[in-house]
Amino acid sequence: MTYVYIAVTVATGIYSAYSAKQAGDAQADSIKAQAKQDRIDTMAQMDMDSAEEGREAAALRKENRRRRSIQEAAFAKSGVLMEGSAADVLTKQRATDEANVQNIHIARGNQRAQDIHKAEGDYNQSIYLAKTTKSAAKTKMITSLIGTATSAYDKMSDIPSSPTTTKTTTPSAFSPTSFPKQNFPATTSSSIGQYKNPFIK
């Protein structure tokens, strides 16, 4: 029964260590997959912001041209020639309008650069966390297996060894020579002659 208990304990320990390793690997893979997905989502959002920025800049340029056209029409209606001071005013206005458009690109571009930098930092941190999680799971599995092996060895050492069998000596079979030898007096002819049969007269 003791050996069965030790075998079950070892099997349970191995299964628990392997299950913990699998759980750690699954967690690491989940962290890595989420990091990749977040990175993809961030880049997709950047593309959407860039497209929106382009549409906003195009709309602003269109609005600027419309306002300049109104201003030019007002100058022409008042008899002001489009030269000299009037031309300078429109030229400066055009430059100011374009600068405002470029400011949109600059401001949004700086924000995108910061967002990309942050996204890359988050991605690298997540990948590092995934690696450390997988490494920790492997270390924990090895430590658990060593502990299981040590515990099994200790339990095996506590089992008493088999008792020494005592050898019994079986008496040998009966033999006439097993009795002690006795010395009987030798029979001689003279002793035979001295014997008298009481039935013979």
pLDDT in tens, the chain (201 residues): 477 777 888 888 888 888 888 999 999 999 999 999 999 998 898 888 888 888 888 888 888 888 888 887 887 777 766 566 767 777 888 888 888 888 888 888 888 888 888 999 999 999 999 999 999 999 999 998 888 888 888 777 777 765 555 555 555 544 455 445 555 455 554 444 554 555 444
109 found inside a domain: yes
- pTM listed for this prediction: 0.55
Looking up tokens 């060593």 gives 146
Query: For residue 148, is it within any domain?
Result: yes
Inside any domain, residue 59: yes
Q: Estimate the share of the chain in helix, then strand, then coil, as percent rounded to the nearest 5.
A: 80, 0, 20
Residue 36 lies in a domain: yes
Task: Please give the residue range of the domain that contains residue 94.
Answer: 2-159
pLDDT at 31: 93
167 in a structural domain: no
Q: How many domains does the chain have?
A: 1
* Sequence-ordered list of residues with C-beta below 8 angstroms from that of 108, at least 6 positions apart, any chain: 49, 50, 53
- Count the residues in the chain: 201
